Amino acid sequence: MQVYVFRGIIFSLSCLYLIGCGGIAPASDSGSAVVAEDAYCGTAYPTTNTITLTGTAQYMYRPMNCGASTCTTLSASAVARGIPHAEVIVRDSAGVIVQCGTTNASGAISLPITKTVGNFSVTVNSRADHSLLKASVLNDITSNSPYALTTSFSVAANTNSVSVGTFTASATGPEVKGAAFHILYNIWTANEFIRTSISNPAFVTDKVTAYWKAGFNPGSYVGTSSPLSFYIKGSRQLYILGGSNGNFTTADFDHFDDSVILHEFAHFLEDVYSVSDSQGGSHNGNFIIDPRLAWSEGFANYFQGAVVRQLGGTNDSTRGRFYIDIVDGTSPGILFNLGADGQNTFYDEVFYDGEGTFREVSIARTLWKATAPNGATSVPTAGEVPFSAVWTAFTSTTNGIKSATEYFRNSGLFNGFLNSIITVSHNARLTAWTAIVANEKQNIDTRDYADPVTPVTVGACTPEFPKVLAPFPEDLYGSSLKSDLLASNDFYIFSYSGGGTSISINYANNGVAPTALSSGGSRIDLDLYLYRQGYVYQEDELESIGQTTGGVVAKSDRVNQVSETGTETISLSGVSAGVYLINVKANTFNKLSSQITPGQATYTLKYTQGATTWDLCPEN
């Protein structure tokens, strides 16, 4: 995202995906000198007169209380879990490193050390850098230090082996070190989930860094006091909310919220292994939003549930059906069911064809139900599509959305790739998949957003041409009025080779040209915009007070309705060749339903080069 995603007013997804622009600086320190993270201790030291050091490193965390059908609260009682595959360092009394290694999947340590009489310490750090996990959980962006769990031991002349027993990172203050190891654990489980699901035991994600500190809100890094967890695009850095103003018990925190941690990690996956065209924006999980943002957030909402469901712990099959964010230290402030019927649910319920493309929770439900096992959903039936198919559509440069020839990525584009994979490789699941897409009011192509248009001879475009737009009044989102991006806008990809004169629309209101309508009468006023990639949708409310958003190449939007002629034209003079997005947009700003009662506008989209004009014909 190229603007910051702030908390919504209905409920807040702390699943934020940020990069530094939009008037807010990227994450930075307060002016202190930045210290680089210490080198990882990844090479075993040779030993002589060898003895074996054993022990178990574990951490405490607070699990969700879940039953057979739902989850209720974050448990007040912490439980223990071994720290998997983390860095282990053994030092002598002078602090000199004498051995390096890692814990195993259960947190057990077994390392050879040279038998030397003296006092030693063994430390497990909140990081790993090996074939199973490459991640660091660090305290802040200035000191870049991992969290260390340390215990001491001694070697005597008659020592043949040493056991340090079990040593534990706490889930309580003052440092809550268990939370750092819980974040690391989530990143490891995501890696395990992917390599198991795609049947590639050698897969491990690139290095990712998570910043977290007890009682600290990383929103301060980006200039806001709002409690935030987020990912900075291009940085390979997650920022996890640890509370605020020193409060990590009753203030909002995310360090035990698996949903939030895995959601942010999914944004890292999208950044590194796929492509995101999202430019950010406000989202609350229950509103029509930009399809690029909806896709990015929807995939991340889905991924966390898919991972949690496979963890294998108590009630994970229940917990994995939900996105859960604890906001007061105990109770879920966000709790939505990824297996819900899209046409009968509270969050992001869908009504109209194509609406799911613009709703992040609908997208999450679509993917979750598609890959859910038999019996996990009832309406519609679970798709049982393997995650490997989703991963291919997500990452492939040939039959997925990472292809360099794709632009303005959204769920319709993704669904098309996934549909092709299912058809070829998992055809027995095609009927269930098709029913899920229909239930969520989505499509398997780009008809709802970013549909390619091609110049054709005037009158030769079929089947639906002229196009029809039946706008809805604007809706209140927070304190702002928002255009209905589905009903009041049509978006088309235009691959422009250069040398053109203009793009235009000719339109009528239920067959009546706007010039024939009385000056005070109701009418649908269509405008025309041309966006470059990376654009931010221009709301009429902001435009009416002179504010603009990035990415508008050209526009034709008469403010005075009396001057409407039924034609809008934008000049291509000075516009270089490239791939652009055309927006045919109904101006619904400050208009009641009665003021757009002609019901629908019909329009033709045209492209002119010199003396020749073509119809721009949509692909779908």
At residue 153, what are phi and psi to the nearest 5 degrees?
A: -155, 165
For the chain, give me the number of helices (H) and strands (E)? 9, 30
**pLDDT for 162 beyond 60:** yes
Give the model's confidence band at 489: pLDDT under 50 very low, under 70 low, under 90 confident, else very high. Answer: very high
Q: Which residues contact 40 (CB under 8 A, 6 or more apart)?
A: 87, 127, 129
Give the model's confidence band at 514: pLDDT under 50 very low, under 70 low, under 90 confident, else very high. Answer: low
Domain count, the chain: 1
Please state whether beta strands 612-618 and 567-571 pair in parallel, antiparallel, or not at all (unpaired).
unpaired
**pLDDT for 29 beyond 80:** no
Residue 463 lies in a domain: yes
**pLDDT for 547 beyond 70:** yes
At residue 8, what are phi and psi to the nearest 5 degrees?
A: -80, 170
| Angle (CA) 531 535 537, round 5° | 90
Neighbours of 526 (CB within 10 A): 28
Give the model's confidence band at 282: pLDDT under 50 very low, under 70 low, under 90 confident, else very high. Answer: confident
**pLDDT for 278 beyond 90:** yes
**pLDDT for 392 beyond 70:** yes
At residue 615, what are phi and psi to the nearest 5 degrees?
A: -80, 140
Residue 42 lies in a domain: no
* pLDDT of amino acid 521: 55
pLDDT over 70 percentage in the chain: 91
Q: What CATH number did the domain enclosing 577 receive? A: 2.60.120
Residue 470 lies in a domain: yes
Residue 480 lies in a domain: yes
- The rounded mean pLDDT for the chain is 90
* pLDDT of amino acid 563: 66
DSSP string, 530-575: EE-TT-----HHHHTTT---TTEEEEE--S-GGG--SEEEEE-TTP
* pLDDT of amino acid 411: 98
Cβ atoms of residues 509 and 598 within 8 Å: yes
Q: How far apart are CA 547 and CA 556, in angstroms?
A: 16
Cβ atoms of residues 318 and 70 within 8 Å: yes
**pLDDT for 4 beyond 50:** no
The pTM is what?
A: 0.94
* pLDDT of amino acid 413: 98
From residue 301, alpha-carbon distances to 180, 218, 273, 338, 359 in Å are: 22, 21, 17, 9, 12
Residue 367 lies in a domain: no
Residue 540 lies in a domain: yes
* pLDDT of amino acid 109: 98
Residue 516 lies in a domain: yes
Domain with 507, as residue range(s), is 451-618
When pLDDT is averaged across residues 92-105 and rounded to a whole number, the result is: 98
For residue 583, give both structure tokens: 């927006």
Residue 124 lies in a domain: no
**pLDDT for 593 beyond 90:** no
HSE, CB side, 13 Å, CA atoms: give it for residue 282.
16
The secondary structure of residue 317, as a DSSP letter, is: H
pLDDT, tens only, 177-190: 999 999 999 999 99
